[in-house]
Amino acid sequence: MTSPRAALAAYGRIQAETDVATADPHKLVALLFDAALAAVHRAAERMRARDLATKGTAVSRAIQIIEQGLAASLDRSAGGELAARLADLYDYMSRRLLLASARNDPEGLEEVARLLAELREAWRAIGAESAKDRAHGERGA
């Protein structure tokens, strides 16, 4: 018999897979921000609980999402200076997470969480504005 917790976890995985499979590119980046932020929060929670193994796994996951998801999704040729600055910021966040994990430094995790949250909100605002522009264009056509 499956426990309610296991069933809920399975549902969450299926929901996440469905979100990714059906998302537009803008939504995919938003999902990456959400996942990175969740991993950083999990690392902080595990750090407070002195669960170093799980903390390390969560930090590794956050770094992987930042480097292989967010940084890799940058279009450096079309993005110009903004893309270069974001690449530098993503690199800083990865290094900061690694150092915070090694030193069990909750302030480092909190700093990265703040940065990710600010970027996520800016990304959502861009998405909302783009959707509004598309809707306006469709009505005007």
- Domain 24-140, second-level architecture: Up-down Bundle (1.20)
Percent of the chain with pLDDT over 90: 68
Instruction: State the average pLDDT over residues 109-130.
Output: 92
Alpha carbons 23 and 33: distance in angstroms, whole number? 14
Alpha carbons 91 and 74: distance in angstroms, whole number? 13
110, 44 in Cβ contact below 8 A?
Answer: yes
Judge whether residue 7 has pLDDT over 60: no
pTM equals 0.78
Q: Which residues contact 63 (CB under 8 A, 6 or more apart)?
A: 94, 97, 98
110, 104 in Cβ contact below 8 A?
Answer: no
Q: What residue ranges do the domains of the chain occupy?
A: 24-140
Longest CA–CA separation in the chain, Å:
59
